[in-house]
Amino acid sequence: MDPSIWGAKTDASTVAEYYHNQIAGKTILITGVSPGSLAAEYVKALAPHGPKLLVLASRNISNFQAVIAPLKEKNPTVSFRPLVVDLASQKSIRKAADEVHSYEESIDVLVNNASLNGMKKYSVTEDEFETAFAVGHLGHFLFTGLIADKLSPKARIVVVSSMMHWMADVNMEDPNFDNGKTYDKDVAYARTKSANIHMIKALARRGFNAVVLHPGVAKTGMMREFTDAEAEKLVEEFNLEFQTNQQASATYVYGSFAPELSDTALNGAFLKDCKVDEAAPFCEVEGVGERLWKASERWVGLEWGSR
Ligand SMILES: NC(=O)c1ccc[n+]([C@@H]2O[C@H](COP(=O)([O-])OP(=O)(O)OC[C@H]3O[C@@H](n4cnc5c(N)ncnc54)[C@H](OP(=O)(O)O)[C@@H]3O)[C@@H](O)[C@H]2O)c1
């Protein structure tokens, strides 16, 4: 199939079929794997194409077991490995990163996917950061930094953002919404998703191969904080439409394996519907991205990024 005709209705399995040779033999680590999630669909699409190892990071082992149960028998040569991590806890992230360091394999593709919608009620993590931002941005920033030396030389880092990033840029002066007084759940989510884009652009500037994507819109766990009416309204606002999980995860496969995304000109690209797309212009501002990088280093207590 010709990739130029791929779009919102293309399935992850179609894209995986096309990139069979790129998937075979690779070690892939993805966060946020639960039954019914887009990550579960990504794993299902990759498994028949002979990856060497799929590391599935979840909050608990039962998520892992439920996702791999239907896949193990059909794909006997693929190794599936659980990694338990709570991205809301810097302590848990450090423990998980130590576990990754004990692997023999290097990571060829890292997909930072886990996220929470802005919670209806303001909350902070044990490290005192607003929860959506802590999980979706700071958690992945710390995890990636801690395992950066376990990435293979040509590894690709993929971060899953959202079109909702257009609603708000990061706010480094007040990441905790004046202790919750000015909290807005959609803004919290949008700031996190903008942070994802700034992080990818900063990684590309640091010589990593990195891309960021809007998946698609699908009724996964992500919708649990929305009523049906709220979800419909948002989808309309961004001129999107609901997709199946298979369709909504196709860009994960494209972003992970399309060889052209290693080219300097496309490094750091924002992807949507299996194509390069435009992120909001405020996410292109290098000075903001670099300030976020420095602030994130301070907030997680880790300086990293040279290769
Ligand atoms: N679905 C959509 O329409 C849509 C649209 C745009 C962007 N996205 C993005 O797509 C990505 C995947 O979302 P999804 O739709 O597959 O939703 P999902 O089913 O809710 O998956 C999100 C995953 O993140 C995990 N997670 C949440 N908090 C965590 C924590 N503290 N530590 C570790 N893992 C945690 C969840 O684990 P639990 O199951 O244990 O909660 C779940 O595995 C997200 O980045 C989301 O922002 C989705």
In a domain, 192, yes or no: yes
| 254-257, long-range: CB < 8 A, 24+ apart | 254/3, 254/6, 254/15, 254/19, 255/156, 255/158, 255/211, 255/212, 255/213, 256/28, 256/109, 256/111, 256/156, 256/158, 257/15, 257/19, 257/22, 257/23, 257/109
The parent domain of residue 140 ranges over 3-300
In a domain, 162, yes or no: yes
In a domain, 166, yes or no: yes
Q: Label residue 237 by pLDDT band (50, 70, 90).
A: confident
Q: Residue 132 C-alpha to ligand 1 middle, in angstroms?
A: 11
Q: Which residue's CA is minimally distant from atom 1 of ligand 1?
A: 218
Domain of 47, CATH number, reads 3.40.50.720
CA of 40, closest atom in ligand 1: 16
In a domain, 90, yes or no: yes
In a domain, 306, yes or no: no
Q: Residue 167 C-alpha to ligand 1 middle, in angstroms?
A: 19
CA of 88, closest atom in ligand 1: 31
Instruction: Give the distance, in angstroms, between the CA of residue 39 and the centroid of all CA atoms in the same chain.
Output: 9
| Pocket residue to mutate for ligand 1, from 29, 59, 62, 127, most atoms within 8 A of Cβ | 59
In a domain, 307, yes or no: no
In a domain, 230, yes or no: yes
Looking at 19, 122, 183, 189, which residue is catalytic?
Answer: 189
- Mark whether 189 is an active-site residue: yes
Q: pLDDT tens digit string along 199-223?
A: 999 999 999 999 999 998 998 988 7
Structurally, the chain folds into a number of domains equal to 1
CA of 163, closest atom in ligand 1: 6
In a domain, 186, yes or no: yes
Q: State how far the Cα of 224 lies from the Cα of 119, in Å rounded to an integer.
A: 10
Q: pLDDT tens digit string along 15-50?
A: 999 999 999 999 999 999 999 999 999 999 999 999
Give 106's DSSP letter: P
